[in-house]
């Protein structure tokens, strides 16, 4: 696929989907804060972003922390039970829990800018 094909045939659908999501969740003031993230293939014709290295500013780490805490509280004796516990606890993680952690991101980023060496902690993660 060429950058031109991507730009003409695929990107408009992504833009529409992102706009619909923004409207659906009524995110005010975030108009210029959305970034379309794909596989960084140069043929797409956009600038590659370096992902954060710090787990303190990676929302995926927040989800893993939820899961780790819930799994630690459970008891298992076999590998099969352990896998079942992980799957059960993962299925119980709610979008509300994830959203609360994502909403902390601007504050976490500011703390990182202010003191890059210090670990970032909060009540949630």
Residue 4 burial (CB < 10 Å; 0-12/13-18/19+)? exposed
Residue 113: C-alpha distances to residues 50, 56, 119, 120 (Å): 16, 12, 12, 11
Residues 66 and 44 in one domain: no
pLDDT at 35: 61
Residues 85 and 121 in one domain: yes
Residues 37 and 72 in one domain: no
pLDDT at 81: 94
Residues 32 and 62 in one domain: no
* pLDDT tens profile 2-61: 677 777 877 788 778 877 776 766 656 555 555 656 665 666 555 555 555 677 777 788
State which residues form the domain around 8. 1-50
The residue from 12, 31, 50 where one domain ends is 50
Residues 89 and 77 in one domain: yes
d(CA 82, CA 103): 31
Residues 120 and 85 in one domain: yes
Residues 3 and 24 in one domain: yes
Query: Greater confidence, 23 or 93?
Result: 93
Residues 122 and 89 in one domain: yes
């Amino acid at each position: 696929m060429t950058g031109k094909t991507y730009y003409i045939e695929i990107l408009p659908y992504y833009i529409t989907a992102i706009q619909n999501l923004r409207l659906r969740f009524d995110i005010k003031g975030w108009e210029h804060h959305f970034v379309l993230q794909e596989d960084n293939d140069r043929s797409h014709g956009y600038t590659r972003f370096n992902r954060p290295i710090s787990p303190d500013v990676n929302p995926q780490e927040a989800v893993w922390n939820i899961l780790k805490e819930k799994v630690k509280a459970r008891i298992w004796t076999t590998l099969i039970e352990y896998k079942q516990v992980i799957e059960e606890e993962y299925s119980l993680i709610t979008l509300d829990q994830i959203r609360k952690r994502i909403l902390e991101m601007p504050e976490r980023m500011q703390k990182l800018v202010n003191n890059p060496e210090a670990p970032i902690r909060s009540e949630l993660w």
